[in-house]
Structure 1
Amino acid sequence: MTKPYRILIIEDDPDDVELVLLGFSKHEEFFVDIATTGEEGLEKIPKTRYDLVSVDFALPGISGLDVLEEIRKADQDVPVVMVTGRGTEELQVVAFEKFATSYVIKSVDSLRSLPTIFEALINEARFRFEERRMKKDVERSETVSRYILENSPMGIYVLQNGCFKMVNSKFGEIFGCEKVDLIGEHFWSLADPESFECVESTGKDASSKRSIVKELRIVRKDGSKRWVEARIAPLDYQDERWVLGSLVDITERKEGEKDLLMGNIKLTILYSLALNAIDFRGREEDLMKEALSELMAGLKGFDVGGVFLLEEGRLVLQALEGPLEVLMGFVDQVDPQGLLERGETKMLDDVDRPLFWVSTPFCNGEERRGLLVLGREKEIGPDFLEFMDDIAWHLGKMMEIFLLRRSHSEKV
C-alpha cells in the first residue's frame, strides 16, 4: 500500500488553489494543506512533517524565494517546488541557487499534473534518505548490511570491470528476472542504446571518487523498457577498482515530465494557430506555410513535413518543410485518399533509412479539407498520434476562421 503523502501548497491565488485541489481530488494518497501567504506557510511547517512543499513565486508579504530560503535553513532534504506564472531563465537559475528541488511554470495542464510530479519527487527524496540510512547500517555489521540490501526498496548492485558481481532482489525485479541471472552481465549491455543520447550526468568522471548520476532506459528481460536513475560511486579496495551503485525506477516521473513538455508545446502551437486565424493578412497557402513552419519549430526532431489541401478531389501540396523528394517518397507508397479517413502512423523505407510518419486529416466545418503529414527517424507512438489529431483539429479551425474572416472582409 502506498504510504500517504503530506504536502503543503503556499499559493495566494484562489483560482490556482482550486485547480491544484481539483488535480489532487482523485489521489486519496495525498493529504493537502493550503497556506495563502508565506508567513502562514512558515508557521505550519514546524508543526507538521511535510513530504513536499510547493511555493508560489509571487506572494503577498514575504516572497516565495524568501520562503524557500527560510525552509532550507531548517531542512535541507524536504522537496521544495517553486511555482510561477512568469517563467524566465533568470528566475529558474535563482530558484535553483537557493536549492529549490524543482520548478513548474503555471498552466492549467501543469497544475493538474502536479500529483504525478510531486509523487516522483517525494519518492526520490525518500530514496535518498533511505540510501543514507543504508550506508550507516552497512558500517555497523556485514550481517545487517546484507539484510538491508535484500530488503531495500531500491535496486543495489556492485560492479567490477563493468560487470555485476552482486545485485539485490529489487534490482532483479526492476529487470524482470532473478538476480542470479544478472551476475556477470555487463552494465551497459542492459541499457537501451537509444537512451545514450538522453543520459544526464552530474559529478565528475569515474576516475574521481565523487558519485555520478545517470538517467537512462533499460531493457527488461521481456523486452519492455523502463527509465531508471543510476547512482554510481567508485570505490578503491585492495588496489582494485569497484563500483557501488543503486537503481531507482523513474518511469512515472519521466512520463510526467514528457506530459508536461508536450502540454507546453501544444499550448505554444495552439496560441500561434489562434493568432494566425485572427490576424494573418496573406493568402491561404501562405497561412499554411506559416502554420507548418511554426509547428515544425515547436516539435523539433522531424525531418520533413507537409500540408495538403483537397482541391477537386485531389490532394495538392500547399506547404513544405524539408526535402520534397522525401515527402513525395511517402506519398508514392500510400493511398493519400485513404489517409483522409483517420489519423495514422506508418514506418516506410526511404532511400537509405526507414522513416516513421504520422498523418492526420483536418476539416473545415464538417468537410474534409486537407492532410497534415510529418516524418522523422525516431519511432512515433500512439500518444503522439493523439497529440497530432488535436493539432490537426485546431489547424482546421484556424483555416475555418481565416476563410470566414476573409469572406466577411470581401463583402465589406
Structure 2
Amino acid sequence: MTTPYKILIIEDEPDDVELILLGFSKHDEFFVDVATTGEEGLERVATNHYDLVSVDFALPGISGLDVLEEIRKSDQDVPVVMVTGRGTEELQVVAFEKFATSYVMKSVDSFRSLPTVFEALINESRYRSQERRMKREIERSETVSRYILENSPMGIYVLQNGSFKMANSKFAEIFGCDKEKLIGEPFWSLAEPASFECEDEEAEEPRRPPGEGDPKRPIVHEFGVTRKDGSKRWVEVRIALLDDLEERYVLGNVVDATDRKKGERDLMMLNRRLAILHNLILKAIDFRGEADDLVREALVEAMAGPDGFEVGGVFHLDEGRLVLRGMAGPLEALMEFAEKVDVEELLEGGGKVTVVGRSRPLSWGSTPYSVGGGRKGLLVLGREEKIGDDLLKFMMELAWHFGKMEEAFERLRAS
C-alpha cells in the first residue's frame, strides 16, 4: 500500500489551481489542501502537518518568498516548492538562498508532472528525516553507552588482534595506567607476563581443554598482577570472544578483587590458626609423656601452620635462668638469635619483633608466657618474611596456650 502524502498548494490563480488539482485527481495517495493567499497558507502550515508545500511566487499581500522565509523559521525539513509563471535565474537564486527545495515553471506539462515530482521530493525528505533521526538515536545511544562505560564499577576493555581498541577509566584505575596511552598497545604492555599469577575460578562444570565446548561461553580467571608501580592487585577477569570474519576481537570486564582475596586469605589463615590452637589443646589433654616432649610437639605443630615459620624455640625460666625447653628448625639460627638479644629482657617485655641474622636475616617474634600468674617462659619464632602485628597477636595466643600446658603439668607434678 502506497504511503499517503498530505500537501498544501498556495496559489491565488483559480485556473492554475484547477489544473494542479486535475493533475492529482488520478493519484489517490495525495491529500491536497489549497490556500489562495500567503496569510491563509501560513495559518494552515501552523495548524497542520504537511509532507510538502507548494508556493506561488506572485501572491496578493505577503509574497511567496516571504511565505517561504516564514515556513523555514519553524520547519527546516518540509519540502517547499516555489512555482512561478515568469521565472528568471535571479528568482531561482533568491529562492534557493531562502532554502527552497525545488523550483517549477508554470505550464500544462509541469502541472501534469507535479505528482511524480512531489512524490520524489517527499520520499527524499522522508529518507533524510529518517536518516537524521537514526543518526540522532545512534549519537544518543553512543552517549549513553559512553556514560555507562565511563561510570561502570567494572573495568571494561576491547582487544583487537591482541591490542587495546578501547578501555574505560575504571580499567585504567585498576591497572594504574593511562587509558589514552593504552589504545593500540598490546595487552602485555600492562605488566610483564611473568608478573601475572593466575588462579582459575572454580567452575560448576569440569573445565574442558581449549577449543572444546561452547566458544561463546565467557572465560573467567582470577589474576594476581604486579603493576608497573610495584603494587600488587588481584583481579577477576571475564572474557568473551566476539565473532568477526576478518579480525579477532575480545571483550573483557575486570573487577578489582584485591579486598575480597585479602578477606578470603585472612579467613583461611584464621581458620588454620584456630586449628593449630585446637590441636594444641587436644595434645595437652591426651599427652602422657614428659612436659618437655609436649612442648616440642606443640612447637612443631605451631611451625607447621600457614605462617611460614622456619625456626622456633621455647625458653623456660628455671631457678632464675632461661633454659631452652624445646626447638624446631636449624639450631644455628636459634643460637644466633639467643646470642644477639637479651632473652631475659624479652621475657620482661611484651610481644616484640627483632631482625637477626648474618648471612640471611630472619624476622623474629618473641612473646612471653605466664604460669600461675608469673612470667615463666618465652616463645620465639622466626621466618624470612616480616612479622606484622596480626601475626604477633597470634603468637601471643600460642604463648598463652604454652603457659596453660605448663600450669597443667605443674599441677600433675604437685599431686
Q: Which residue is 1:172 aligned to?
A: 172
Classify 1:332/1:241 alpha carbon distance in 2 versus 1 (closer, same or farther; 3 Å). Answer: farther
d(CA) in 1 for partners of 2:245 and 2:362?
A: 52
Classify 1:264/1:240 alpha carbon distance in 2 versus 1 (closer, same or farther; 3 Å). Answer: same
d(CA) in 1 for partners of 2:240 and 2:267?
A: 31
Alpha-carbon offset, residue 211 of structure 1: 4.3
d(CA) in 2 for partners of 1:348 and 1:194?
A: 30
Aligned pair partner of 2:374 in 348, 360, 367: 367
Classify 1:179/1:252 alpha carbon distance in 2 versus 1 (closer, same or farther; 3 Å). Answer: same
Alpha-carbon offset, residue 142 of structure 1: 5.8
Q: Which residue is 1:343 aligned to?
A: 351
Q: Which residue is 1:250 aligned to?
A: 257
Classify 1:165/1:292 alpha carbon distance in 2 versus 1 (closer, same or farther; 3 Å). Answer: farther
d(CA) in 1 for partners of 2:223 and 2:408?
A: 45
d(CA) in 1 for partners of 2:338 and 2:399?
A: 19
Q: Which residue is 1:146 aligned to?
A: 146
Classify 1:150/1:406 alpha carbon distance in 2 versus 1 (closer, same or farther; 3 Å). Answer: same
Do residues 400 (structure 1) and 407 (structure 2) align? yes
Classify 1:396/1:180 alpha carbon distance in 2 versus 1 (closer, same or farther; 3 Å). Answer: farther
Kindly indicate whether the alpha-carbon contact (under 8 Å) linking 2:312 and 2:334 is maintained by their aligned counterparts in 1: yes
Classify 1:362/1:332 alpha carbon distance in 2 versus 1 (closer, same or farther; 3 Å). Answer: same
Aligned pair partner of 2:310 in 303, 314, 318: 303
Q: Which amino acid aligns with 2:366?
A: S
Q: Which amino acid aligns with 1:389?
A: M
The residue correspondences of 1:373-412 to structure 2 (distance < 5 A) are 373-408=380-415
Q: Which amino acid aligns with 2:350?
A: R
Name the SS of the counterpart of 1:372 in structure 2.
strand
Instruction: String of CA shifts for 1:210-235, please: whole Å, max 9, x gaps.
Output: 64433334456776544322234455
Q: Which residue is 1:227 aligned to?
A: 234
d(CA) in 2 for partners of 1:149 and 1:377?
A: 44
Kindly indicate whether the alpha-carbon contact (under 8 Å) linking 2:195 and 2:225 is maintained by their aligned counterparts in 1: no
Q: Give the structure-2-normalised TM-score.
A: 0.53
Instruction: String of CA shifts for 1:66-121, please: whole Å, max 9, x gaps.
Output: xxxxxxxxxxxxxxxxxxxxxxxxxxxxxxxxxxxxxxxxxxxxxxxxxxxxxxxx
d(CA) in 2 for partners of 1:399 and 1:192?
A: 52
The residue correspondences of 1:96-111 to structure 2 (distance < 5 A) are none
Kindly indicate whether the alpha-carbon contact (under 8 Å) linking 1:204 and 1:212 is maintained by their aligned counterparts in 2: no
d(CA) in 2 for partners of 1:381 and 1:326?
A: 20
Kindly indicate whether the alpha-carbon contact (under 8 Å) linking 2:314 and 2:379 is maintained by their aligned counterparts in 1: yes
Unaligned runs of 5+ in 1: 1-137
d(CA) in 1 for partners of 2:297 and 2:408?
A: 16
Alpha-carbon offset, residue 178 of structure 1: 4.9
Classify 1:404/1:152 alpha carbon distance in 2 versus 1 (closer, same or farther; 3 Å). Answer: same
- The percentage of aligned residue pairs carrying the same residue is 57
Classify 1:310/1:229 alpha carbon distance in 2 versus 1 (closer, same or farther; 3 Å). Answer: farther
d(CA) in 2 for partners of 1:350 and 1:387?
A: 27
Instruction: String of CA shifts for 1:338-389, please: whole Å, max 9, x gaps.
Output: 33212223444453x4433322222213322222222333343322222222
Q: Which residue is 1:200 aligned to?
A: 200
Classify 1:289/1:382 alpha carbon distance in 2 versus 1 (closer, same or farther; 3 Å). Answer: same
Alpha-carbon offset, residue 313 of structure 1: 4.1
Q: Give the structure-1-normalised TM-score.
A: 0.54
Q: Which residue is 2:220 aligned to?
A: 213
Kindly indicate whether the alpha-carbon contact (under 8 Å) linking 1:162 and 1:186 is maintained by their aligned counterparts in 2: yes
Q: Which residue is 1:260 aligned to?
A: 267
d(CA) in 2 for partners of 1:354 and 1:188?
A: 35
Q: Which amino acid aligns with 1:200?
A: D
Give the structure with higher Rg (CA).
2
d(CA) in 2 for partners of 1:253 and 1:271?
A: 27
Q: Which residue is 2:296 aligned to?
A: 289
Alpha-carbon offset, residue 190 of structure 1: 4.3
Alpha-carbon offset, residue 400 of structure 1: 1.5
Kindly indicate whether the alpha-carbon contact (under 8 Å) linking 2:190 and 2:228 is maintained by their aligned counterparts in 1: no
Kindly indicate whether the alpha-carbon contact (under 8 Å) linking 2:191 and 2:228 is maintained by their aligned counterparts in 1: no
d(CA) in 1 for partners of 2:302 and 2:370?
A: 18
d(CA) in 2 for partners of 1:354 and 1:240?
A: 54
Classify 1:237/1:299 alpha carbon distance in 2 versus 1 (closer, same or farther; 3 Å). Answer: same
Q: Which amino acid aligns with 2:146?
A: R
